[in-house]
Structure 1
Amino acid sequence: MTGSALLEVVVDVVALVGRILFAAIFLGSSVAHFTQSEGMGALVESKGLPAGRLLVLVSGVLIALGGLMIVLGVWADLGALFVLAFTLPTAFLVHAFWKETDPMAKQNEMVNFMKNLSISGGALLFFSLYAGHAHDLGLTITGPLFG
């Protein structure tokens, strides 16, 4: 095996590990969306959103599909958009720290807002990488849906 072939294998494995680590939060959270939908729905409604339980269940499906698509490399670009469709609205609608008056609650919501904003950036990066360069990122089941 040549040096460049070995490097390609290493890069492919690192990309796979990165996909698994990135998607782990969504796969774990999707389980909570289904098993704790009542409580999570009440939290969503307390933030002023309607049909909290339904939103929790729909978002659970969205992040489960997105996470699985990213891990398996099945239209990973679309999976990244599914994740983005969850994290970006959640940052602004659920973790609106600027609405909090209690300092501890404000800090907690700010941390979660920034986490979701950061993950949204990662999802956009995943989308651009897999939509534009998936043929160079091995260990996927399919190519990109877009691109």
Structure 2
Amino acid sequence: MDFLVLIGRILFVPMFLASALGHLARSTAMAGYPAAKGVPAPRAAVLGSGAVMLLGGLSVLLGVWPDLGALLLAAFLLPTAVLMHAYWKETDAGARQNEMIHFQKNVALGGAALMLTGLFAIAGDETGLMWTGPLF
């Protein structure tokens, strides 16, 4: 089963790493979206979210305190779903649909990240194929 957990970690992480690199490399260009949502210091928010996705993603992928990495991703995804993808506030049907998709994606991935946190915490070092055991 160690191998299945490793495959799951490998499949779970690429989206976070790709998004993190985009946030970090194009922070100025990406700052317009959070600015439009009323986020204070939008460029700093883009850089911060990029750092969170990079650290959390690498932690889960490499198995270095993966419970902490998964919890970090969940702590990013769930508030982001509500604060940045509030589809119920959109009046345009296309924008509403787009935000709903992002909201649901973030909630689903946040739930998966919470499950990973629990898996790593419960299984501890028995999960195998990690550099360190869980922190919690």
Relative to the length of structure 2, the TM-score reads 0.97
Quick check: 1:117 aligned with 2:107? yes
Q: Which runs of 5+ in 1 are unaligned?
A: 1-10
Q: Map of 1:1-147 to 2, 5 A cutoff?
A: 11-146=1-136
2-side partners of 1:44 and 1:31: how far apart?
17
Match for 1:28: what amino acid?
Answer: A
Give the 4+ runs in structure 1 shifted more than 2 A.
none
The count of residues paired between Structure 1 and Structure 2 equals 136
Q: By how many angstroms is 1:86 displaced?
A: 1.3
How far does the alpha carbon of each residue in 1:57-115 deviate from its partner, in whole angstroms, 9 at most, with x for none? 01111110000000111100000111012111110111110110000000000000000
Q: Name the Cα RMSD after superposition.
A: 0.8
SS at match of 1:86: helix
Rg larger in structure: 1
Q: Which runs of 5+ in 2 are unaligned?
A: none
1-side partners of 2:130 and 2:110: how far apart?
22
2-side partners of 1:85 and 1:41: how far apart?
21
Q: By how many angstroms is 1:134 displaced?
A: 2.3
